[in-house]
Amino acid sequence: MTNMNTWILLQTTVIPNDAAVSSKTMSHFFVDDLVCFSSSLHDHLIHVKEVIRILNKVNLILNIEKCHFAQKSINLLGFSVSEQGKTIDTRKLSNIESWPRPKTGTDVQRFLGLVNYMRDYIPKAAALMAPLDKIRNAKVITEKEWTPIMETYFQAIKNVLVSNIVLSPPNLNHLWNLRLYRLKFTEKKE
């Protein structure tokens, strides 16, 4: 149960300890994006030269057409990162804005999957998603099941995401107000 009294399901996944399986898993990594962060242009030039030197040493080649140096912001894994913080990539926002009302449980699952990927940007995400989660296994969502409350929550989630909230690093020079919540776990006795 979350701090908003909404039930969630937690699942953990681990890589098996078997050496052969672990080795095979580790050998299939693929690097598509390489990001080099520096706090000044002078440092950035030094860091980029060092990265290129290391890549050359291991015979990795950069595609110069895909290289962007000394950028103020970058788009990476569906997010835009800048000195102000992290936002959802604007190219994803148009998809969210035009997302149609779910007609099946599978449609709900697709929407919730996208929302889960961006849940850091949604205050009280579990509470907003709870009504939709209740119908995610429906074969067909009828007008009776898709209540005005469902529509309200569906639109609220979309509106929060397209408002493009900026997640910024904390300012360590200001006082913080931390609220800690304790989750209560109980074991199901059979």
Q: In the predicted model, is pLDDT for residue 171 greater than 90?
A: no
pLDDT tier at 113, thresholds 50, 70, 90: very high
| Tens-digit pLDDT profile for residues 63-96 | 889 888 888 988 888 889 988 899 988 888 888 8
Q: What is the pLDDT at residue 33?
A: 78
Mean pLDDT, range 130-149, rounded to an integer: 89
Q: What is the mean pLDDT of the chain?
A: 81
Backbone angles phi, psi at 88, to 5 degrees: -75, 135
Place of tokens 């701090």: 3
* Residue type at 156 in one-letter notation: A
Instruction: Tell me the two tokens of residue 18.
Output: 């078997």
Lowest mean pLDDT among 38-42, 98-102, 123-127, 177-181: 177-181
- Cα–Cα distance between 164 and 53 in angstroms, integer? 38
- What residue spans of the chain are helical by DSSP H? 19-26, 41-57, 90-97, 105-117, 125-133, 148-162
- Cα–Cα distance between 58 and 139 in angstroms, integer? 52
Closest CA to 103 of 65, 36, 156, 154: 154
| Tens-digit pLDDT profile for residues 24-67 | 555 555 567 788 888 889 999 999 999 999 988 988 888 889 88
Q: In the predicted model, is pLDDT for residue 23 greater than 90?
A: no
- Cα–Cα distance between 126 and 179 in angstroms, integer? 17
| Tens-digit pLDDT profile for residues 145-156 | 899 999 999 999
pLDDT tier at 124, thresholds 50, 70, 90: confident
Claim: this prediction has a pTM higher than 0.85: no
CA dihedral 61, 62, 63, 67 (to 10 degrees): 180
pLDDT tier at 12, thresholds 50, 70, 90: very low
